[in-house]
Structure 1
Amino acid sequence: MWYSKSISSVVETLGVNPKTGLSTHEVEQRLTQHGLNQLTPKKKKSLIKLFFKQLNDVLIYVLIAAAILTIVASYWEGHTEFTDAIIIMLVVFINAFIGVFQEYKAEKAVEALQKMTSPKTLVRRDGEIVEVDSKTLVPGDIVLLDAGRFIPADLRLIESSNLQIEESALTGESVPSEKNAKDQLPEAQVPIGDQHNMAFLSTLVTYGRGEAVVVSTGMHTEMGKIAKILEEEDTEMTPLQKRLEELGKMLGIIALVICAIIFGLGILQGKELIEMFVTSISLAVAAIPEGLAAIVAIVLALGTTRMSKKNAIVKKLTAVETLGSVNIICSDKTGTLTQNKMTVTHVYTKNGLQPVESLVIHEEEQKLIEAFNLCNDATLTTGDPTEIALVQLAQLNNIEKSDLDRQFPRVDEKPFDSDRKRMSTLNQVDDGYEVYTKGALDSLLKVTTHIYDQGQIRPITNQDIVELQNAANDMSLQALRVLAAAFRPTKEALSAKTMENDLVIIGLIGMIDPPRLEVKDSINQAHQAHIDVLMITGDHRNTALAIAQTLNIAQTMDQTVSGSEIDQMSDEELEKNIRNYKVFARVSPEHKVKIVKTLKKLGYIVSMTGDGVNDAPSLKSADIGVAMGITGTDVSKNAADMILTDDNFTTIVHAIEEGRIIYNNIKKAVIFLLSCNFGEIVAIFISVLLGWPVPLLATQILWINLITDTLPAISLGLDESIEDVMKQKPRDKKESFFAERAGQRAIIGGILIGLATLFAFIIGLFEKGISFTEIGQVAHGEPAFIHASTMAFVVLAFSQLFYAFSLRSSHKTLLQVGVFKNKTLIGSLVIGVILQIAIINIPFFNDAFQVAPLNFADWDIVIILSLIPFIVNELIKWVASKRNKTV
């Protein structure tokens, strides 16, 4: 019971020095002993289970039944040739293997994303503070805690300062629990909610800071004991996948009705029962786009993996769809639009405004630098960029922060709060204590009564305040971020509640965080894509506008609004005026939520960036919440839909572009599948309606479904951007999947493919001396039928392969988009053609598929007919583009 032990006893038991932490060697040894710090993952489905899952479909059951009936019928008629049944079962199993492969690939892609989003933890190892993957923690590790971080394991606190932890995941109590490292509880059984010197896995630091030692990891933690409640739910389908599943069911019903009609007509025309049954069932399986869900899943998974390589980790597949509809990006300034490399450039005290490169150190400047470094949690290499810049300022002037920390040790503190906009510490000095406070000037002036002048403390005057404000404005106009510092000498140790009273202001510093070089081009690209970019920042209005002007976000002060001005507006006024503003300055997290909700109420699809604990509500409120991967807290990352691993605005624009591309590619793949399926129905339905023999056998239809449908569809799903997607308006979130004549293209393509197949069949019969009026008399198995069926079989396969190239763009011709740009699609064409040629020329396959080799003249006819759907669709696009140019 770690809570009943003293701090010294705990660290002695765990064999660690809190000042240096564990060594790398010790961590490796303990990792071998205790294992990774993770809960037992959800049991994965075996490949066998995945395989049988693919067979768990009513239509597959029917197809297997058809194969069995074929065997029974053949045996009944005294035949021992079961080729049709074997091929049917072979295709069923190959389809199942493809499904397993797709699910496996999708699962691996999701696992890769989960690894990327695994939480990080600040620890002290080898005497250095480093950030590590939480799963590598071991008992004895020294963990540093601050607001916004999830607790990575079960910990015993060894230091705490105003520390509060929200433990509802374990206790059900929504109010954060106050923690105190110095507490030592009795050895009696103490409820988790009352263990005030402990912190537990998956709970959340909401306030303050602390240090703790890891006492339990993985399944040995309190959360590990109830690990079942943490098991992830099964992945839900995205709205797009749900719509496609509904579409598939609707088309399936239509296809089954058509198949029933075909079966009935065939029986009335005297065709064999088994033949028509197998043909109808195989047509149903070919006609119903059962591969839609699998293809969409793998395209989404591979697309999100591709996005992760471009520094955008998409946590939810639904975000990929929504990205294509975003029309407003609300972006933070610091680190996202700027480099997040703060550098102090100017210092102001009662001695005047001085540039850092020629700074003259008097008592005021010395005291200012000391205050900024004692009220500071950073080092030269780790911490908040603003605080790091203050440490660098000290070092530049031969003042070491580590020396200050030893000389004036911190006794207490009041962490930064977004409402107060300041941070304070209480440090011990020779003759008592001193409070050091840093924060926004307007915030400090509220609690300031004196000023430091000529090394003396005197009451502050209105003239002093005006001079301070003028200096701050001068620096803000130069796009500098202004920070003020104050102190307060005291004989007694003040509490956190009273330390920020009667402060003595020392001066100001101005620091700059220059814009990222590539961001301006990205903002222009967003504007071309009809996406508006808004800057939302806690910085001063002048600073924000200066950066906004540089980046072409805003031009005049009229386009800016402050948080205080928003407070004075009614909801109706904000709705009416919000689109007049491009920069929202001096805003709080509550303002962010209000801005997002107002924009959404007006019908906009909003992306919002954030990195802090208090940004979580606005990230959740936005259609796409975007967290910063470097500076972002665990809370913001958990609330977001997407994480930027480089904290760069350009990555958001790239992600939106990728989202649009993925959606367009899925749409192309679906239209292709529907065209192919409809073409098969057209060819068979017309032939049965006219009383002709069905031109395609069940085995041939299944082969087409396996090869010339699946491979090109996946290739289209992996297409590059060819539609200038970032010059188009964002897609309406409620837009029909068949918008922009997509349904019309599917119908036209299907009719053309079906008619080309029928014409090939008719020409093949004509070549064998069968007249038009005699077509209905031709029986399956006759040489004339085999020849004509072979031609129809090849045309159906080739026309689908060629037609896929025409679907790469709905507006541009293939020559405009580039014939060889999609190498995967070319590979699909090559594989499809080679396999088709092999089928009709290798004797074994001749017998299995009841086909025969074709001569050169037949090949000419086949290729011409196969190209017709492609050529007609290209001509339609060409004529439409010419017409649009003349309008």
Structure 2
Amino acid sequence: MSDAAATTTDDQPTDAGTSTGTDWHALSVEETFDRLDSGADGLSAAEAATRRERYGPNELPAADGRSALSVLADQFRSVLVLVLVVAAALSAATGHVIDAVLIAGILVANGLFGFVQDYRAERALEALREMAALEATVSRPDGTERVDARELVPGDVVVLESGDSVPADARLVTAESLSAEEASLTGESVPVEKSTDPLDPETPLADRTDLVFRGTSVARGRARAVIVATGSDTELGGIATALRESSDEETPLQADLDQLGRRLAVGVFVVAAVVLPLLVLGGTDTVQAALTAVSLAVAAVPEGLPAVVTLTLALGVRRMAAENALVRRLPAVEALGAVDVVCTDKTGTITEGEMRVTEAWVPDETFELDDVAEDERLRGLLEAGALCNDATVEDGDPTERALVLAAEDVGMDVAALRERRPRTDERPFDADRRRMATVHGEDVYVKGGPGAVLDRATAYRGSDGDEPLDDATRDRVLEQVEAFSDRALRVLAVAEGSDPANPESSLTLLGLVGMLDPPREEVAEAIEDTKHAGVAVKMITGDHPGTAAAIAEQVGIGGEVLTGSEVDGMDDATLAERVESVDVFARVTPSGKVRLLEALQENGHAVAMTGDGVNDAPALRRADVGIGMGIRGTDVAREASDVVLLDDNYATIRNAVRRGRTIFDNVWKFVAYLLSANLAEVLLVLLASLAGYLILPAVQLLWINLLTDGLPALAIGADPASEDVMERPPRDTEKGVIDGGLLRVGGGVALTTTVVLLGLTFLTLDGAPTATEYAVTMVFTAFVVFEFTKLYVVRWARGTLPGTNRWLEVAVVVSFLLHLTVLYTPLSGPFGTVPLSLADWGLIGGALVLAVPGFVASAVLSRRWARDTGTAAQ
């Protein structure tokens, strides 16, 4: 049972299945009743009421979710946001109300956008609780009655029929042709046949065939079962507890921005503390010096960064939605670009999520399904399989439905066939007989396990008619069964009889069908592309090891297979080592999935986890990026995810990784551009202050900041993907946004700007004892021109070519026109500028010509660093 059921408390007696951690699957029916102090007729209503007071309702506990106010407050708790709040306050205190309002508006808009996205994640536990809102048929000593499933208690006996949802974890008492659909809990792709026989205590969850579990459903048959665990003590309840206790992981970008915020916070105070006394000692008025120091500190803070990041992520969200990926949490978009391991479920994610007949055999010939259209014996085999069958094209047991679909695929109208040859008698499938027989007038058809059918067969249908089934032929049949099984195919034998009174005697074997849940056609290519991009792919499934190995090999994963029991038996150090070399994990429990995920994360990997079942929810929540399935996924899996694939297509993950890498590239370019401008401002003002000059007064610093952090910077967020974005390995999340490449291009460009503009400063001062309006205007305007040029240099350093973003060109033109207004309109007065002549513009152009080689050299050094460190395509 779940970990939640594995503790004993003094206030709950040991007859309760909810508190002892008993291996119920290892007990006989009689022992189970004894432990629960119950019986075959169940509990009386009075006893059930008494136990309900002890154990509480059969429902999951309320989640301790965050309130809406708490979620909103979380949007403003990063260090960078706090620095920006201080910057807004400083701007307001120094009279720059417009700047203060701008910063505040950016913060509020960013916070509200993040709130809308983040609050939806809190619905995961609510969806989990609503899953089991159902009724159940319970047995009482005086008969059966329908009750609210929340009223069930350990010891109650429930009646289950085909199509019923299982209301609680229960030990089977009787089972008539019973199979259960458990894919959402265990990952098993086909219904699990159930029986009442006790099992070995070490039997893993997915193989506990004498138990049924809350949140699963009855695929076929009828049963009576005694409740052994309710509410949070069920397997589903254990998952709910793990989901509630897990916390959202901080994405790499969030961590990077917080680190950047801390560095800037320190830098802001250092800048202000150094510049202020230098200006005062140089003869600048104390008030003006203080205003400039504060303005320079504000200029060093990237108030546009949250807006750029939010816009970039929002654009990514829109583009991903068009590519069938719904993003539920904005930072997850970028986090996909840092992922270096994808842990994927098998059923419904890599595979199509439904059983299909892929091969068929008649003595002694094997066919792919699409080869059988004109073969008489194969058509007879599929016709028999469609008649000895309770499924339809739309609904039914997945194995039986696969036979119906196979018949339809070769041109049969199964509904019309059944009308022409109605069923007159039947023997339903039984777990002991492992066969099903139907009678259609004088004809009999039987299907079931190969051994069970061969036991009753005396002949086989050969190419020249019916032949006696001798030992040699039996051996050939069994060899073919083994060949199908080796390819992880589920094998059924189909036979024909001629004695309606004894439908399972003297059968003639028609052949075998092999079926499996096949891989999606596009998955192999998508996995190859993902691996080519440096992202490892690991399959973690609850399905059978043989099936997992076969599917993994088909889609290009392959390699050794570890089972859940082997994983559970490893200590953390051993698991951390093995998880690096093994790519396929089968029969893994929900807690095992989380443990594998944590081992990868402890090894330094950024992990994306895909899944569609209830059992995937804890790992989805804890992964760096949780990816749920939109079509086949449960509500719980979708709500626990950061990204939902609307088409359940693994190929969409590849597109999402590309989009995530592009988003990080754009954030990287903006930070490089921003920091190069801020560093140049600080260096220029600092060095000019040492010489006694105030070269960029406060209002001009803030104007430069507004232009550089404004439209051009925002336009970078719309940059397209560079051609090599999927040729690079995943980025190292420990290096952050500010890596060696960024420092080289940002630092080099800033130093070049500082040196050239210092030269321009002293050239235009022409020996004046104080900064003249003309000199200040020249340096001010040249700085703006340099910034617009640096945009293209920084973009090229990250592999983005000029002319690929029309919005950037528009932004540069508009921003340049805005700057002209402070030169040639009455705004020149407040900004302390004078109009510039054509010759002055020529001088600025000459300064730019001198700076460009330094800009380009910085970008080359950045690209070379990326290649040398393996962070760019070779």
TM > 0.5 fold call? yes
Amino acid at match of 2:788: L
Distance 1:178 1:873 in 2: 78
Alignment deviations for residues 641-660 of structure 1 (CA, whole Å, 9 cap, x no partner): 43222222221222222222
- Where in structure 2 are there 5+ consecutive unaligned residues? 1-64, 140-145, 162-167, 170-184, 186-212, 221-242, 462-468, 496-507, 869-873
Pairing 1:851–2:866 present: no
Offset at 1:208?
1.9
The answer to whether the 8 A contact 2:715-2:808 is kept is: yes
Pairing 1:730–2:730 present: yes
Offset at 1:256?
2.5
Pairing 1:312–2:329 present: no
Amino acid at match of 2:612: D
Q: Which stretch shows the higher mean deviation, 695-704 or 741-750?
A: 741-750
Distance 1:864 1:208 in 2: 77
Distance 1:413 1:205 in 2: 24
785, 803, 808: which one aligns with 1:798 = 785
Corresponding residue for 1:763?
A: 763
Match of 1:510, SS? strand
The answer to whether the 8 A contact 1:304-1:313 is kept is: yes
Distance 2:689 2:110 in 1: 36
Match of 1:258, SS? helix
Distance 1:56 1:731 in 2: 28
Amino acid at match of 1:819: P
Offset at 1:836?
0.8
Pairing 1:666–2:667 present: yes
Q: 1:533 to 1:714 in 2, by over 3 A?
A: same
Residue pairs, 1:472-491, within 5 angstroms: 472-475=481-484, 481-484=489-492
Distance 2:88 2:663 in 1: 30
Offset at 1:681?
1.3
Alignment deviations for residues 834-860 of structure 1 (CA, whole Å, 9 cap, x no partner): 1111221123x1222221211111112
Residue pairs, 1:31-42, within 5 angstroms: none
Amino acid at match of 2:98: L
Pairing 1:297–2:297 present: no
Q: 1:266 to 1:654 in 2, by over 3 A?
A: same
Pairing 1:281–2:294 present: yes
The answer to whether the 8 A contact 1:307-1:658 is kept is: yes
512, 528, 531: which one aligns with 2:535 = 531
The answer to whether the 8 A contact 2:344-2:609 is kept is: yes
Distance 2:836 2:433 in 1: 85
Match of 1:834, SS? helix
Corresponding residue for 2:414?
A: 399
Q: Which stretch shows the higher mean deviation, 315-324 or 582-591?
A: 582-591
Q: What TM-score do the two structures reach when normalised by structure 1?
A: 0.64
Corresponding residue for 2:823?
A: 840
Alignment deviations for residues 417-469 of structure 1 (CA, whole Å, 9 cap, x no partner): xxx9x9999999999xx99997xx6xx97x9995566699xxx9998986555
Q: 1:682 to 1:623 in 2, by over 3 A?
A: closer
Corresponding residue for 2:393?
A: 380
Corresponding residue for 2:234?
A: none
Pairing 1:260–2:268 present: no
| Identical aligned residues as a percent | 29
Corresponding residue for 2:216?
A: 207
The answer to whether the 8 A contact 1:106-1:302 is kept is: no
Q: 1:150 to 1:510 in 2, by over 3 A?
A: farther
The answer to whether the 8 A contact 1:723-1:809 is kept is: no
Distance 1:175 1:742 in 2: 62
The answer to whether the 8 A contact 2:459-2:509 is kept is: no
Residue pairs, 1:473-872, within 5 angstroms: 473-475=482-484, 481-484=489-492, 508-511=512-515, 516-535=520-539, 551-554=555-558, 559-561=559-561, 563=563, 596=597, 604-616=605-617, 619=620, 623-692=624-693, 694-722=694-722, 724-766=724-766, 771=767, 774-775=768-769, 777-778=770-771, 785-810=772-797, 817-843=800-826, 845-866=827-848, 868-872=850-854
Amino acid at match of 1:743: L
Distance 2:345 2:413 in 1: 34
The answer to whether the 8 A contact 1:337-1:516 is kept is: yes
The answer to whether the 8 A contact 1:54-1:96 is kept is: no
Q: 1:409 to 1:517 in 2, by over 3 A?
A: same
Distance 2:153 2:674 in 1: 51
Q: 1:58 to 1:400 in 2, by over 3 A?
A: same
The answer to whether the 8 A contact 1:238-1:317 is kept is: no
Q: 1:391 to 1:713 in 2, by over 3 A?
A: same
Offset at 1:65?
2.3
The answer to whether the 8 A contact 2:351-2:517 is kept is: yes
Corresponding residue for 1:251?
A: 264
Alignment deviations for residues 683-703 of structure 1 (CA, whole Å, 9 cap, x no partner): 2112222112x1222222222
Corresponding residue for 2:104?
A: 96
Q: 1:331 to 1:40 in 2, by over 3 A?
A: closer
Q: Which stretch shows the higher mean deviation, 678-687 or 254-263?
A: 254-263
Q: 1:266 to 1:661 in 2, by over 3 A?
A: same
Distance 1:564 1:238 in 2: 28
Corresponding residue for 2:340?
A: 327
Alignment deviations for residues 189-221 of structure 1 (CA, whole Å, 9 cap, x no partner): xxx99xxxxxxxxx996122599xxxxxxxxxx
The answer to whether the 8 A contact 1:412-1:426 is kept is: yes
Alignment deviations for residues 320-359 of structure 1 (CA, whole Å, 9 cap, x no partner): 4543343333445555445667643544589986764225
Offset at 1:818?
2.0
The answer to whether the 8 A contact 1:424-1:436 is kept is: no
Amino acid at match of 2:732: D
Q: 1:423 to 1:359 in 2, by over 3 A?
A: farther
Residue pairs, 1:205-244, within 5 angstroms: 206-208=215-217, 238=251, 240-244=253-257
Q: What TM-score do the two structures reach when normalised by structure 2?
A: 0.64
Q: 1:297 to 1:362 in 2, by over 3 A?
A: closer
Q: Which stretch shows the higher mean deviation, 298-307 or 788-797?
A: 298-307
46, 51, 64: which one aligns with 2:92 = 64
Alignment deviations for residues 90-132 of structure 1 (CA, whole Å, 9 cap, x no partner): 3332343444455555566779x989x9999xxxxxxxxxxxx
Q: 1:684 to 1:152 in 2, by over 3 A?
A: same
Offset at 1:387?
5.9
The answer to whether the 8 A contact 1:611-1:627 is kept is: yes
Offset at 1:830?
1.3
Corresponding residue for 1:127?
A: none
- Where in structure 1 are there 5+ consecutive unaligned residues? 1-38, 68-87, 121-133, 135-148, 183-191, 194-202, 212-229, 415-419, 488-503, 779-784
Corresponding residue for 2:465?
A: none
Distance 2:338 2:99 in 1: 39
Distance 1:483 1:288 in 2: 67
Amino acid at match of 2:215: T
Offset at 1:820?
0.6
Coordinate RMSD, CA, aligned: 5.9
Distance 1:45 1:322 in 2: 20
Amino acid at match of 1:650: A
The number of equivalent residue pairs is 699
The answer to whether the 8 A contact 2:114-2:330 is kept is: no
Corresponding residue for 1:75?
A: none
Distance 1:107 1:726 in 2: 31
Q: 1:880 to 1:663 in 2, by over 3 A?
A: closer
Amino acid at match of 2:738: F
Amino acid at match of 1:275: Q
Residue pairs, 1:360-439, within 5 angstroms: 360=377, 368-371=385-388, 373-374=389-390, 376=391, 379-381=392-394, 388-395=401-408, 396-400=411-415
Alignment deviations for residues 369-416 of structure 1 (CA, whole Å, 9 cap, x no partner): 345x42x5xx534689766533323555443399799979999999xx
Match of 2:795, SS? coil
Match of 1:509, SS? strand
Alignment deviations for residues 792-843 of structure 1 (CA, whole Å, 9 cap, x no partner): 211222212211221114365xxxx421112232222112111111221123
Match of 1:852, SS? coil
